[in-house]
Amino acid sequence: MEASNSQRFVNLISEILRIPPKEVVDAAGMDDIGTWDSLSHMQLIITIESEYGIELSAEEIVGMRTVGKIRELLHSKGIEA
């Protein structure tokens, strides 16, 4: 069975930030997750662009400060996450 788009998104964030999937909530952000540093942020960007076949602008990248903001960004590009 294939994971839902939402579960796929959670798994992607969980794997990159090395946190349990249950901690991947919209309110969680850079200030809350100790492993979310500049290096893991770049990994998030690269993986999201590759996984979803999109290109992110500098403005969009800077705005990716919480799980919820990343989800909103993907939604704005027509991607369910």
- The pLDDT of residue 2 is 61
- Mean of pLDDT over the chain: 95
Average pLDDT over residues 5-32: 96
List Cβ neighbours of 29 (8 Å cut-off, separation of 6 or more).
36, 65, 66, 67, 69
CATH number of 5-76: 1.10.1200.10
Average pLDDT over residues 28-49: 96
Confidence at 11, pLDDT banded by 50, 70, 90: very high
Task: Report the amino acid identity of residue 23.
Answer: E
* Domain residue spans of the chain: 5-76
pLDDT value at 38 more than 80: yes
How is the chain classified by DSSP, letter by letter?
-PPPHHHHHHHHHHHHHT--GGG--TT-BTTT-TT-SHHHHHHHHHHHHHHHT----HHHHHH--BHHHHHHHHHHTT---
The structure's pTM equals 0.92
